Amino acid sequence: MKSRKQTRQAHLTASLIVLGLFIGGLAHAVYEPSPLSDPSRRWSVDLGISGGYDDNIHSRPDNDPNKQSSGTMILNPRLAINIPLDQTFIGLRYSYDWIYYFDRAHAGDEYEEEYDQNHTVDLIFSHRFTPRFQLDITDNFRRGLSPALTEIGGIPNPRPETGDYFFNNLSTTFTYNLTRVWTLNIFNSWEYWSYDDSTQQDRNIYSPGIGVNYLLSPVTTLGLNLRVGLVDYDDPGPNDQKNSVSETVYLFLSHLFNPQLSIQLSAGGSYTEMGDDHTSGSPYASGSLTYRYSQNGTVSIGASYFLYTSDQYGYRTSDTVATFLQCTHAITPKLTARLNLTFLHSEFNDPDFTIPSGTPEPSEDAWRVTVGASYSFTRWFFAEANYEFAHSSGVGAGSYDRNRFWAGVRFTY
């Protein structure tokens, strides 16, 4: 454990050094890779007010006597700030959700509060030292005061995280153009999970890596990447069995067929060694396709297959397939419709105990469908309505169905 803690301290020190280099290199003109909707302004603020209904506010199984439904009221203020300088860009995105349940159990029961709160903060730093050398830093912070829906593998996860939690992901990427066609990327991420509930497992995940990209043509890029993963639990169990070190090697392809159609593909494999010397291997694959089928509509589809650290008690890892579909269509200049679909299938591996012969390893399915529409009355005032259906079956969070509907108005400036 000493060497693992030393590794964690060295990793954090390196991240702070990178941040110091970034701050020390600030300069002075306009560089804005992520502009706001109104390019003449450097900040925006909006407030959403809506009411709705949730038929399973705690994501309970259908036969659970504690399953509860309730009407809801939701407040959602958001803030966005851009600070563009000469070769530097600083961005802030903040969102707050306050969800009040009219019929939630009162103080003294399992859920003492009649409302949930969620905080989302995204920080963006980008600095171009020279035309060939660039540093990008992003920090994503989440505070969930509810059984919240989170992300796994970069795709929204229909399964709830049990209880209140802190989540933070700090990522840095150095990009250096070796020549006009060769690019070197050195990247690093630090993912941190911390739960208020002592029965949940706090953990740090470190993922440094290196990649080389080759510009095969103006519309095609090939890449080779190596990523190392270090999973460090506060309580890894006997013989350090939950902790792990993994290496993932994968090829990357990006191609622009035309201005309307683009594709990204990654494929490779990973090798994982657990703290108790147990080893496992798994293929890795990821792909996405974006198609702008008209001036009014865009559709994106994607899928990933990867080995993930398991939160299921008694199992170290899980093989997970994650897919998504996103579609946006402007029916009229003022009316826009949206569709989002996510699906995950996980098979739990590497048990801490001996499975009886002939007994299949447990699995879990989860999916979520969201349909929404918004109507702009003016540039600063519009109405929105959304419906969401979520389903989960198997072990883990248990089997449940959940329907939610909410509608309201949003003021923006």
CATH code (residue 47): 2.40.160
Q: In a structure prediction context, what are the per-residue pLDDT tens digits for the chain, which is 413 residues long?
A: 444 445 455 554 444 444 444 334 333 445 666 677 777 788 999 999 999 999 988 778 878 888 889 999 999 999 999 998 888 999 999 999 998 988 876 544 454 567 888 899 999 999 999 999 999 999 999 887 654 555 544 545 545 555 678 889 999 999 999 999 999 999 999 999 888 777 677 889 999 999 999 999 999 999 999 999 998 988 887 778 778 899 999 999 999 999 999 999 999 998 888 887 878 788 889 999 999 999 999 999 999 887 666 656 566 677 788 899 999 999 999 999 999 998 888 877 666 666 656 656 677 888 889 999 999 999 899 999 999 998 888 765 568 888 999 999 999 98
Distance of CA 202 to the CA centre of its chain: 18
Among 323, 412, 396, CA closest to 362: 396
The answer to whether the CB of 111 falls within 8 A of the CB of 59 is no
E strand or H helix that includes residue 7: helix 2-24
Measure the CA–CA gap between 383 and 339, rounded to whole angstroms.
17
Q: What is the pLDDT of residue 77?
A: 97
CA distances from 149 to 163, 367, 396 (A): 11, 11, 14
Buried b or exposed e, range 153-185, using 16+ CB within 10 angstroms: eebbbbbbbbbbbebbbbbbbbbebeeeeebeb
Please tell me the total count of domains within the chain. Answer: 1
Buried b or exposed e, range 122-148, using 16+ CB within 10 angstroms: bebbbbbbeeeebbbbbbbbbbbbbbb
Q: What is the pLDDT of residue 370?
A: 93
CA distances from 103 to 68, 113, 114, 149 (A): 8, 11, 8, 21
Measure the CA–CA gap between 320 and 252, rounded to whole angstroms.
20
Measure the CA–CA gap between 142 and 169, rounded to whole angstroms.
9
- Which pTM does this prediction carry? 0.78
Measure the CA–CA gap between 73 and 98, rounded to whole angstroms.
8
3-state helix, strand, coil in the chain (%, to 5): 5, 65, 30
Parent domain of 373: 2-412
E strand or H helix that includes residue 167: strand 165-177
Quote the Cα angle for 107-108-114, to 5°.
25
CA distances from 268 to 186, 224, 244, 282, 345 (A): 18, 10, 19, 9, 20
Structure tokens at 157: 């996860």
Among 210, 212, 287, CA closest to 247: 210
Structure tokens at 368: 């979520």
CA distances from 357 to 278, 354, 360 (A): 20, 9, 9
